[in-house]
A = this chain, B = another copy of it.
Amino acid sequence: MSFEESLSFTPKFDANGLVTVVTIDSASGQVLMVAHMNHQALAKTIETGQAWYWSRSRSKLWRKGESSGHTQSVVEMLVDCDQDAVLMTVKQEGPACHTNRKSCFYRRINLQADDKTSLQFV
């Protein structure tokens, strides 16, 4: 059986030991954020039902909302064909973004502008 048809969860961590996680809001289906999990964050997320990530900037394991209170309860976790990305649906408490916006994706690339390096707030 090919890897793509396997029913065994064998995540492919990258050179830094990370998989990419896309987090979606269970109520709206909106993409809230993109982050990373190492082996331990993934195990703790699955074990506790709360989202744990690996912070690349702080080189540290963190439970989402541990300081802000903006926790994420896991509803569903899907894995992609080559098992290097996880799509996680969560019940989000408050805003997901540290800027206090619901989603981290709040700026649009202005594709119509002559200068395509300008952004617009969504």
Counting chain B CB atoms within 10 Å of each CB, the highest count among A4, A34, A120 belongs to A34
Q: Other than the known A46-B109, A85-B104, A87-B105, what 4 A-B pairs have Cβ atoms closer than 8 Å?
A: A7-B107, A8-B117, A76-B108, A76-B111
Task: Give me the interface of A with B, judged by CB distance under 8 Å.
Answer: 4-10, 20, 22, 24, 29, 31, 33-34, 46-47, 49, 74, 76-82, 85-87, 97-99, 101, 104-109, 111, 116-122
Which 6 A-B pairs give the minimum distances between C-beta atoms? A34-B85, A78-B105, A80-B104, A77-B109, A9-B117, A87-B105
Number of chain copies forming the complex: 2
B105 and A74 contacting across the interface, CB-CB below 8 Å: no
Report chain B residues within 8 Å CB of A122: 78
B7 and A119 contacting across the interface, CB-CB below 8 Å: yes
CA distance A76 to B97 in the complex (A): 20
CA distance A46 to B110 in the complex (A): 10
B9 and A22 contacting across the interface, CB-CB below 8 Å: no
CA distance A94 to B55 in the complex (A): 36
